[in-house]
Structure formats: C-alpha cells, structure tokens
Structure 1
Amino acid sequence: MGLKTSASQLVATARARIEEVETAELIAKVDDPDVVIVDIRDIRERQRGYIPGSVHAPRGMIEFWVDPDSPYFKPVFGQEGKRYVFHCASGWRSALTVATLQDMGFDAAHLREGFSPWEEHGGPVEIPEPRK
C-alpha cells in the first residue's frame, strides 16, 4: 500500500503557503516583547536546550491551545498585536503546524531551519535545571 502523499510533500506544500522566518531574523527579535516564540518540540527535546523566553506548546495540543472556544485554550495565544513564530527541530513539524493554524485563522510564522542550527548561528540557548 503506497501513500497518496508523502510526509515531505506535505511539508513542501505547507512551506509554499506560510511565512518562513530565517534564523538570523529571529535571533535579532528574541528579546522583542511583540514576538512570541513557540517551541512545539517534545519535552525531551526541550530539556536539551531551548530559546530563552519561548513558550512550550506540544504539537499534539496546539490546535486546542490556540482556540478560544476550546476548554484547553491558553491565554498566551490570545494576545492582540503579537507575532507568533513556531519552531521545531528542523522546520518540518512547525511548517505543518503553522499551515494548520493558518487554516484555522490563527496568524503565525515558523522558523525555517528549526532549532537545530540556532546555536551555531549565535542564538541564545537556555538549558533547564536537571529534574530531581
């Protein structure tokens, strides 16, 4: 049984219709109070380091967290005048997520290359305290 659409085709289709932010551009905005950086990686990925000030929103819950009519709505996603930039490790999951959010009417962009090259581009990284 072959797939009708491959995962890479889904990502390419999503990227063609969403806003992509370059790493250097987001590094320059990391302290901008009007930019909300949203990390959709798994908690285990985030424990290895994350962008300071970023919001953690697991990909499996994001549609419910941004929807004001959902019982799971998070107020961080209801802020007027904010620019939301989502990221994952490589830009694949965040592209799919932002395309879905765009379909919902939620305006967002994604970090094109993801978190993987962030530090080598000079981006700040915070390492969480080890869990006890």
Structure 2
Amino acid sequence: MAIGYRQMLDEAEAEVRSVSTEEGVALRAREDVVFVDIRDPRELAREGMIPGAHLAPRGMLEFWIDPESPYHKPYFAEDKLFVFYCASGWRSLLAAQVAQRMGLRVASLTGGFGDWRRAGQEVTEPEPH
C-alpha cells in the first residue's frame, strides 16, 4: 500500500531534529554548522537565501553527499551539523532524513526560509536581472 506525503513527513519528524528560527540564528554563528538550502535555483533568484548557506538542489542531494559519486561536494564530508532548509520546511525535512540516513549529523529548519524571512532575519537579496 502506498503512503502519502503526510505520513512521510510524520516519519521524518520522528527521526530528524527540528530547529526553530531562533535556534537557527544561534546555530548559524557556530563554526561547526553548515546551512544547506535545497530549494530550486529559481527560488533563490526570486527570494534570496540565508547568508553563507550552501545551495544543494534537492534533486542532486544524494549524489552531492555520497563521496563515491562523481558529483560529490567536499563540504558534505566535513564533521559538521548540517541544517537543511527549503521554503516552508517540508522538502528540507525529507532531505534531512535522507542525509541522516547517509551518515550526516542533521537538523531541519522548521518553517524554512519563509519563517526565517518573516522573523526579520538576515537574507541575501536576489541579484537584479
């Protein structure tokens, strides 16, 4: 029997640490934490991103994490906490679950970039076209 997205999110919530925007602000100041934006590059072009975050589009995440992949990104091999975020927190929760299963220490930013921006936190503005 197939499961729906809500069940997938519930299972991920049971496995993955979630952090609020306030916790995220404190974590961002630490050297042992990497923020990972999994949104589509078009979303970043429209909305900006959290300063210092790495872009890892959701469709490439597993390949970028795996050191055996030709697409591996070395920052994923660092012994750090990876805080994943997307627009609202759903995609990043599922991405964090996958990354955790692949051996990373992870957290998911509850409410995603949307809550971050609404809270008045620092963002890099998109480049004008």
Q: Do they superpose with TM above 0.5?
A: yes
Between the aligned partners of 2:107 and 2:39, the Cα distance in structure 1 is 16
Task: Name the SS of the counterpart of 1:115 in structure 2.
Answer: helix
Q: Which ranges of 4 or more aligned residues in structure 1 deviate by more than 6 Å?
A: none
Q: Partner residue of 2:113?
A: 115
Q: Partner residue of 2:67?
A: 68
Amino acid at match of 1:69: E
Which of the residues 28, 31, 34 maps onto 2:32?
A: 34
Amino acid at match of 1:20: S
Number of residue equivalences: 128
Task: Name the SS of the counterpart of 1:110 in structure 2.
Answer: strand
Amino acid at match of 2:30: D
**Residue 96 (structure 1) shift:** 0.8
Q: Partner residue of 1:101?
A: 99
Q: Partner residue of 2:21?
A: 23
Between the aligned partners of 1:109 and 1:95, the Cα distance in structure 2 is 8
Show structure 2 runs of 5+ residues with no match. Answer: none
Q: Partner residue of 1:58?
A: 57
Task: Name the SS of the counterpart of 1:36 in structure 2.
Answer: strand
Identical columns (%):
48
Q: How large is the Cα RMSD of the aligned pairs?
A: 1.4
Q: Partner residue of 1:49?
A: 48
Identify, as 1 or 2, the structure richer in helix: 2
Amino acid at match of 2:78: Q
TM-score (norm 2): 0.92
Give per-residue Cα distances to partners, 1:17-69, cap 9 Å, x unaligned. Answer: 11111111111232322210000001111111110000000000011101111
Amino acid at match of 1:108: V
Task: Name the SS of the counterpart of 2:96 in structure 1.
Answer: helix
Show structure 1 runs of 5+ residues with no match. Answer: none
Contact kept? 2:88, 2:113, Cα under 8 Å: yes
